[in-house]
């Protein structure tokens, strides 16, 4: 993994290349930007998903209304929009709030 800043020229960017974590906590696997979809797929351990993270992602997406983030978890997934969070997987059945979703992530005891 590595991180490359976008600078004025490719040479400047390449010279500023920084090696990233070998096993990152959050890994952006894919993104899509086209006429219909604007999303990022992120893999993470459920134990890293908490109500602060979900609230911050919703707040971030308020500035990007056409975008969403899909968080792929070993127990299902969460699709975060600026105005709602959709869930998949039995772990999240019956969830009615960000706090419910976060609590169920933290209670799994599993890692990605």
Give the tens place of pLDDT for each residue, 46-57. Answer: 999 999 999 999
Q: Check residue 111 and give its pLDDT.
A: 41
Domain span at 92: 23-106
The total number of structural domains that make up the chain: 1
pTM across the whole model: 0.73
What is the pLDDT, as a whole number, of residue 103?
93
Please tell me the distance from the alpha carbon of residue 40 to that of residue 5, in angstroms, as a whole number. 19
Whether 10 is in a domain gets the answer: no
Residue 3 lies in a domain: no
Asked whether residue 4 is domain-assigned, the answer is: no
Whether 9 is covered by a domain: the verdict is no
Residue 42 lies inside a defined structural domain of this protein:
yes
Per-residue model confidence (pLDDT) at position 110? 43
Low-confidence ranges of the chain (pLDDT < 50): 109-112
In a domain, 28, yes or no: yes
Percent share of the chain, pLDDT over 90: 50
């Amino acid at each position: 993994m590595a991180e490359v800043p976008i600078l004025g020229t490719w040479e400047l960017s390449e010279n500023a290349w920084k090696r990233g974590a070998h096993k990152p906590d959050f890994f952006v696997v894919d993104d899509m930007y086209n006429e219909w979809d604007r999303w990022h797929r992120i893999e993470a351990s459920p134990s890293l998903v908490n109500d602060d993270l979900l609230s911050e992602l919703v707040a971030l997406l308020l500035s990007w209304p056409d975008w969403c983030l899909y968080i792929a978890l070993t127990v299902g997934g969460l699709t975060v929009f600026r105005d709602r969070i959709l869930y998949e997987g039995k772990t999240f059945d019956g969830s009615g709030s960000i706090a419910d979703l976060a609590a169920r992530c933290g209670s799994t005891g599993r890692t990605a």
